[in-house]
Structures are given as structure tokens and as C-alpha cells.
Structure 1
Amino acid sequence: MSSLTSSLADAPVQDTTRVRTRSYSNRHWGNALFVLPFVCVYIALLVIPVADGFWMSLHDLDVLSGDSTWVGLQNFVRLWHDGIFRGAVWNTFVFVLMTTPAFVALGLALALALNRQDRTGTALRTIFFGSSVLSVTIVTLVWRLVFMTDIGLLANVMHFFGLSAINPLTSSALALPAIALVTVWWIIGLPMMLFLAALQQIPEEIYEAAAMDNASRWRTFWAITLPSIRRTVALVATIEVILQFQLFGQAQLMTNGGPNNASRPIVQFIYEAGFQQWALGYSAAAAQVLFGLMLIGVSIQMWLSRRHDAQ
């Protein structure tokens, strides 16, 4: 009798638990419907093309006939022995190392200098950000005029100081740094605005307390400003690593990869292999290598950021 009574008493509790579980499950699937459109677009525009590109890299494709021959990893082996591709990988890594720290350092410096609410600060922010809205064609045309031998702005400045004029775009040692300079001048506005948004989120009371303790500007920067925006620093570094690995337009329009392949990046190699030599399988293999290098670069950057946060 007692067992029957206890089972009858437990029945409503069990029914209530089932109802709550069913209600939570319905809400869970209901929430999933909100992200379903994004998931579908993500799969259609990223996952499927990446998988298709990897499948292409394992074949020798004939564009005219549409025939494909399975070659396995031969395209990747061929890339390994291709001196031009190895040079393109090296150029891309050097370019990323030259530009990403510059974007972080200069973007933060400009944000600190222009973090003020007056007309001068607004005008300067507009000027520095204005170059970011220009197309790569306009930017490279302007800088090619600046670098022109004997008659360009750089040549005139060097003549004024009694120096021999040189066009950095024709020098194997200076072509890639010149492209890096143009890229930093062109896109520095975006990191600056990201840092400005982060700086404006720091409460003024913290700086007032530091001023009451007679903290120097350098001490305030290292103890208050930099720790408060460390996530933005990591964000800017990650974004720029991803973007600068995809260097193409500047190198294509300013040097066409020269002189002597000194400024040819991976994306230009992929373009030339796929749309000039029509070696689509070989081009797809190079694209997979670029994708892997970007993943490695971003993973290292995120690991360093997490390690710094843990400390």
C-alpha cells in the first residue's frame, strides 16, 4: 500500500519533468531556426567551395574539354619543387611580417593622438580614414606616379637633398617594402577606427584616479590603456594577418610580381597558374596551401593572445 502511494505521488513529478524537458527541447530547436539561414549561407559560400577546391587540387583538369584526371598529391609535390612558388610563399610571409605590426602600432598611435572630441581631431580622423575608401587601382596609380624615376615626388625629394633618384619598384630589395608602405598608407584607417572605438569605451574615472596618483603617461598607457584594449589589439592583428596573406592587387598593378619575382605573392601565383596557364588543379593546390598557411598564422596569433590573457 505504501509503495502504491509513493508511486502515485511520484507520477506528477515525473510528468512535470517530462513536460519541462520537452519544452526545453522545443525551445532549443526553435532557437536553432534563427541561425539556420546563416549556417546554410556559410556552408554554401565557404564549406562547399573549400571542399570543392581541395577535390580540384587532387586532379589534373582540362578546362577546354572538362576532363579531369586523378593525380593525388602530385600537384602538391610539384609545388614543393617549384622555386617560384617557394619564393611567393616567402614574399607573402615577409609582407605579413612587415605590415601587420605596422598596422597595430601605427593604428594605435593614431588612435591615441586623435582620441579627442574637437574639430581638429574629427578632421584628422576623416583624412586618415579617407584613403581606406579608395580602390586599389587609384591607390596604386597615385603611388606609381610618386615612385616614377627622375620626375616622381620621391625623385624630386631625393634630388633636393642631393641624392641620386631611385625607383623602388624596379629594385629587387625595395619592391616588396614599397608595396608594404603603400598598403599601410592605404588601409591604416580601419585599425585606427577600431582602436578609437576601444579607447572610447574606457571609463574616464580610471584615468582620473591615475592622475590623482601622479601616474605618468607612459605608466598610464601600460597599466590602464593597453590592458583595457588588449582584445582589440588581438582582433586587429588577426584581421590584418588574414587580409595581408591575400595580397594581390597592389603587387599585380605596381610590379606585376617583379623584378625577378621579388614581389610575387601567393595569390598572384594562384591567379597566373589558374587563369594564364590554365592549370586549375595546380592553382587549386596552391590555394589550399595558402588556406593552410592562413589557418596556421591565425592560430598562432590566437594562441599568443590567449597566453597573454592567462598571464
Structure 2
Amino acid sequence: MAESYRRSHWGHAVFVLPYLTIFALLLAFPLFWSVWLSLHKVDLFGPGRFVGLGNYARVLADPVFLQAFRNTVVFVALSVPTLVALGLFLALALNRTTRAASFLRGLFFSSSVLSVAIVTLIWRFVFIPGEGLMPLIFEQLGLQPINFLSTAGWSLFSVGVATVWWCIGLPMMLFLAALQQIPGDLYEAAALDNASPWRVLTRITLPSIARTVMLVTVIQIVMQFQLFGQAHLMTNGGPSGTSRPLVMYIYEVGFVRWDVGKGAAASELLFLIILCAAMVQYVVSTRKPEVAE
């Protein structure tokens, strides 16, 4: 009996072995190798030299890193609330069973399936000076056109607009799924009590989807801290680094300047930020709801 039990467990291990192999090769090994690189002064052409936390000290003392970190925090602070609020608004507006609502849901979600190259190409046509859509609108209104992609302050704004347009589909669909799980009896009882739409929203809808709001917020924080493609293709981090995000800084340090140890240290700092956000999601998702007495 014991022999059969052990054999059954080994059989289960065979089924998970392919996943464990891929996990070890593509996730676990690169993670530990990156930690090793971050503790060494190394490039891709030599064995490297152990420097301990020296790379982290160099990163934290680098004004370019501090600027990239500030850009990323500002970008996340502005884009994440916009994505959450706009995604919730669209979900509330399109939580219908009509054909028009179904068409609009597909239309708003369609941008999410595009590649970053196509998204940035579309929005470069909108913001590009001279013949872009925004300069033409400014000229028709009699206003001085703004060079959105090469003006400090506006370049990061332009990247944010493109990102919100690209990523809005996922929050909307998650909120729609959560809204459709709310029992209809609650709304019927509210209608019998002549509750106002605002009261229904604040007392029924939002409390019922509170976990989804937190989930969407954490997902978007994790995603937007990894900003790279939009900034790289639209502004190349300019002007003067005012739209350079953390991932672009890591790319430039590690693969342009070949300072792999310093780039790995910066990537580990970014990993710690994302890990904290993921831990918040885990704590919130595993918390048991309180049962009313």
C-alpha cells in the first residue's frame, strides 16, 4: 500500500516537471543570476569582481537614476488612478445587455490587443509637430501648437495618454466581471427604498467590488512601473531625460554602457518595488470577508 502511494506521488511529479523546468530556467535562474550580477562589477566580456553593495550605492547616488525614479513615480501616480477611475466609469456605463453596449465593450477593449509599436505609431501621428492631429486642432482654434513629444512636462503626459488608451481594456473588463457578480436582489431592494443612484453606487456597488478595485489598482501599479516601450518609441526618454522611466534607465546602463552590474542592481530595486505591490495584492486577496452578525 505504501509503495503504491509513493508511486502515485512520483507520477504526479512527472506531470508538473515540465512546468518546474520552465519556471527554473526562465524565472528562478535569471532572478538569482541577476542578484549575483548586482553584487559584482562586471560586463559581458570578463569574469567580474565582487563589490558587494557597491553597485546599489552607485545606483542610488546616480542623479539619472533618481530622475528616472521620479519620472516613473509621477507617471504611476497619474496613470493608475486614471485607469482605475476611467475603467470603472466605462464598466458602469456599459454594464448592459444591449447590442450597442456589447459593441462599445469590444471597441474599448480592442486597443489592448495591439502591440506597443502600433500604439506608439498611432499616437505619434496624433502628437507629431506640423501635421499631427493635435497641432491641426490647435491651429483651427487659433492657438500656438505645442510640441508634445519634445517639450519638458508634455512628453511624459503624451506617453501617459497613449498608455491609458492602450491599457484601459483590462480594467474595464475586470470591473464588468465584478459588476455582473453582484446579486440583482440588492438593486431591487434599493429601488423599493427609493435610493438615489449615488446612494446605490456608494452603498451597494462600490463595497461589492472593493476587492476588484484593489486588484485592478495593484495590477496597474505593477504594469506601469514597467513602462518602457511607449517612452522609448515616442520620446526616447527626452527631452533631457524628463520622460525616461526606470526600465529605460536599466536598459541604457546594462546594454548601452555595458555596466551590467549597475544595471542589475537597478533592476533589483525595481523588482523590490513590484514585489511590495504584489504582496499587497496577496494580503488583500487572501483576507477573509467579515461576516455580519
User: So what's the TM-score if we normalise by structure 1?
Assistant: 0.85
CA 1:309–1:157 in structure 2 vs 1: closer, same or farther (change >3 Å)? farther
- 1:306: Cα distance to partner? 8.4
The one-letter amino acid paired with 2:275 is L
Measured against aligned partners, the alpha-carbon deviations of 1:67-108 in whole angstroms (never above 9, x if no partner) come to 211111111111111100111111111111111111111101
- 1:310: Cα distance to partner? 6.9
Q: 2:229 is matched with which residue?
A: 249
Distance, in Å, in 2 between the alignment partners of 1:121 and 1:246 is: 32
Q: 1:169 is matched with which residue?
A: 149
Q: Is the 8 A contact 1:104 1:233 kept in 2?
A: yes
CA RMSD of aligned residues (A): 2.6
The one-letter amino acid paired with 2:23 is Y
Instruction: From the CA coordinates, give the structure whose radius of gyration is larger.
Output: 1
Q: 1:53 is matched with which residue?
A: 34
Among candidates 85, 90, 95, match of residue 70 of structure 2: 90
How do 1:131-280 and structure 2 match up within 5 A?
A: 131-280=111-260
The one-letter amino acid paired with 1:117 is T
Q: Is the 8 A contact 2:215 2:281 kept in 1?
A: no
Distance, in Å, in 1 between the alignment partners of 2:147 and 2:254 is: 31
Distance, in Å, in 1 between the alignment partners of 2:79 and 2:254 is: 27
Q: 1:44 is matched with which residue?
A: 25
CA 1:230–1:161 in structure 2 vs 1: closer, same or farther (change >3 Å)? same
Among candidates 59, 64, 67, match of residue 79 of structure 1: 59
Q: Is the 8 A contact 2:218 2:280 kept in 1?
A: no
CA 1:307–1:159 in structure 2 vs 1: closer, same or farther (change >3 Å)? farther
- 1:42: Cα distance to partner? 3.3
Secondary structure of the structure 1 residue equivalent to 2:162: helix
Q: Percent identity?
A: 52
CA 1:109–1:258 in structure 2 vs 1: closer, same or farther (change >3 Å)? same
Unaligned runs of 5+ in 1: 1-19
Unaligned runs of 5+ in 2: none
Q: Is the 8 A contact 1:241 1:298 kept in 2?
A: no
Which is worse superposed, 241-250 or 55-64? 55-64
The one-letter amino acid paired with 2:230 is Q
Distance, in Å, in 2 between the alignment partners of 1:227 and 1:35 is: 39
- 1:111: Cα distance to partner? 0.5
Q: Is the 8 A contact 1:234 1:302 kept in 2?
A: no
User: So what's the TM-score if we normalise by structure 2?
Assistant: 0.90
Distance, in Å, in 1 between the alignment partners of 2:222 and 2:60 is: 23
- 1:305: Cα distance to partner? 8.1
The one-letter amino acid paired with 1:158 is F
Q: Is the 8 A contact 2:151 2:239 kept in 1?
A: yes
- 1:41: Cα distance to partner? 3.8
